[in-house]
Amino acid sequence: MVSKVVLSLSNLHVKFKTLSGTVNAVRGISYDLYEGETLALVGESGSGKSVSTKAITKVLPQNATISGDSIIYQGEDLLKKGDSKMNKIRGSEIAMIFQDPMTSLNPILPVGFQIAEPIIEHQHLSKEKAKEKAIKLMERVGIVKAEERYSQYPHQFSGGMRQRVMIALAVACHPHIMIADEPTTALDVTIQAQIIELLKELNKEFNMSTIFITHDMGVVANIADRIAVMYAGKIVEFGTANEIFFNPKHPYTWGLLMAVPDVNIKDQDLYTIPGMPPNLLHVPKGDPFAFRNKYALNIDLEKEPPMFKVSDTHYAATWLLDEKAPKVEPPKEILDRWKYFENHIENMQKKS
């Protein structure tokens, strides 16, 4: 299956100027996003997953500088576009959903109007027509009595309902790409499942490509076609969902997978990756994961590993894949969780 590439990032860098110095939040990431696929970005807080996607539509704070080779969308380089040209793409071609539905809606504007706003802006419809469309969208995302709720305000909505509003707002102009930045993190588990289902349905319905950011591997198994594991502003492992779950190569990915809680495994403490992510004000020499990695080799402290190719779709940045490296097997705790992952992935494939 050869799908069309809709978005192509190459060597993207994002830096933040702060009082204590320059923070290298994203240190050169590249990937292609295919039509209709869901790409999951996973990693700890501060790994640059959210910042790297906000850089695509340039919705970063003023102290951020975006650089790199290119971000190609429909044959044009988004890095070279100014603010007014970006405005034509934001919301209409590339839409975003954010983590915190409680604060992402404007408290003093009616909810329905906030959904209608991008429709009026991009499709130049009258207020009445846009309202009609917005009400249909609200019904589509599962808001009952949409007509009545159109003129209500965010404080009259629950968290889950607000995230539905955010989703309606994001798909209002039928974007090609949807960036969902931890859309379920602030919601409780039952609502999470509903929202993920809704997102999956809508992706199909509108044939959107999705970049899904999360740190929850359980959610990833549910939704992702391909997965990029990020650490310290870089992608450290990249592959299809099957490759990442059943044939992971990077010790950091192993750590993430081991940290997934599984109710079927008894008498085991919950695993956590030791230590903290490095401070990106001063990126350490060599592999920034080395000091938390019990499989680290001497060379990890000297030189950052390049991307090694595992298969046509699977790459990982770890010296363990070098010819001269000792053979290391992934920890057995990951094998214990296969059944759990299989269920999730099977479920996902059944539904789609």
Partner 1 sequence: MGKYLIRRILIAIPVLLMVTVFCFGMVNLAPGDPSDLYLSQNATQVQKQEMKKNLGLDKPVYIQYVKWLEKTFQGDLGFSFASRTPVTEVIPAKLAATVELLICTLILSYALAIPLGIVCARHQGGWLDNTITGVSFLGVSIPGFFFGLGMVYIFAVELHWLPTGGMSSLGQSSGFLDRLSHIIMPTIVLSLFYCSNMLRYVRSSMIDIFSENYMRTAVSKGLSKKVVLWRHGFRNALVPIITVISSDIPKMLGGAVVTEQIFSWPGLGQLTISSIGSRDYPMLMAINLIAAVGVLICNLVADVLYAVVDPRIRY
User: What are the residues binding partner 1 (CB under 8 A)?
Assistant: 57, 59, 61, 83-84, 86-92, 95-96, 98, 100, 103-109, 117-118, 121-122, 153, 155, 166, 169
DSSP 78: G
Q: How far is the CB of 118 from partner 1 (least distance, A)?
A: 4
Q: Are 180 and 210 in contact (CB under 8 A)?
A: yes
Q: How far apart are CA 339 and CA 345, in angstroms?
A: 10
Q: How far apart are CA 322 and CA 344, in angstroms?
A: 32
Q: How far is the CB of 55 from partner 1 (least distance, A)?
A: 12
Q: How far is the CB of 84 from partner 1 (least distance, A)?
A: 8
Q: How far is the CB of 105 from partner 1 (least distance, A)?
A: 6
Nearer to partner 1, 105 or 244 (CB): 105
> Which is nearest to 33 in space by CA: 212, 170, 184?
212
Q: Are 96 and 179 in contact (CB under 8 A)?
A: yes
Nearer to partner 1, 101 or 233 (CB): 101
Q: Which residues of 213-222 are buried (b: 16+ CB within 10 A; e: fewer)?
A: bbbbbebbbb
User: Which tokens go with 300?
Assistant: 């990890």
Q: How far apart are CA 208 and CA 38, in angstroms?
A: 9
Give the containing element (helix H, strand E) for 65. strand 64-67
Q: How far is the CB of 59 from partner 1 (least distance, A)?
A: 5
Q: How far is the CB of 145 from partner 1 (least distance, A)?
A: 18
- Residue 207's contacts (CB-CB under 8 Å, 6 or more residues apart) are 35, 36
Nearer to partner 1, 104 or 293 (CB): 104
Q: How far is the CB of 204 from partner 1 (least distance, A)?
A: 23
Q: 58: buried, middle or exposed (CB in 10 Å: 19+, 13-18, 0-12)? A: middle
How many residues are there in the chain?
A: 352
Q: Are 68 and 28 in contact (CB under 8 A)?
A: yes
Nearer to partner 1, 35 or 100 (CB): 100
Nearer to partner 1, 118 or 305 (CB): 118
- Count the neighbouring beta carbons within 10 Å of the beta carbon of residue 112: 24
Nearer to partner 1, 208 or 221 (CB): 208
Nearer to partner 1, 152 or 247 (CB): 152
